[in-house]
Amino acid sequence: MLIGYMRVSKSDGSQILDLQKDELLKAGVLLEQIYQDFDSGKNDDRNGLNVCLKALRAGDTLVVWKLDRLGRNLRHLVNTVHNLSDREIGLKVLTGQGAQIDTNTSHGKLVFGIFAALAEFERDLISERTKAGLDAARSRGRNGGAPYKITAEKLRLAQAAMEKRETNVSQLCKELGITRQTLYRHVSPNGELRNDGKKLLKIP
């Protein structure tokens, strides 16, 4: 059975589904087997798409007008199609850059394999760039991750406040603009400096 899915980004009427619907009908999809969304392709969790994917059964084929109707994120597209493949469900793209994809044919599977390889390549590049950035930061004496929001001045105020039992820790953190985790990383509950606090104040 052919199951169709169509999507436009806006629900205010500035974009309509007529073109996609006509093409899906021409491809042999029955009107009652077409699912739709009025949502951005950046959102992976779309109600119409979720219902559509649940309606698909082994041997069915999901038909879309263009590949970007499923989503604009290559990794999400690849994961979605792999999931369909595992369930023995095909995918057919009618037009656009993914028009050669028809996982019911050997040629279509080859084209999708290229898309999957590109997604893996993209993932590896991101990983390599992240690692290189962290290595460069460490070589300059910096650790990875977001910088602490605590300064030496804030630390001294926190230390003095924590020495008082009546101090409201949540209020203190709010006033200093830091998290509890950052506070307790530098100061103990009774106001004593911890290792990170001593490093910040340059105390041996």
- Catalytic site positions: 9
Cα separations in angstroms, 165 against 48, 80, 182, 192, 195: 55, 55, 19, 13, 22
Q: Which two tokens stand for residue 41?
A: 């392709």
What phi and psi, each to the nearest 5 degrees, are found at residue 48?
A: -60, -40
Dist CA 28 CA 63 (whole Å): 10
- Which residues pair with residue 90 across a beta bridge? 61
β-pairing verdict for 34-38 and 2-8: parallel
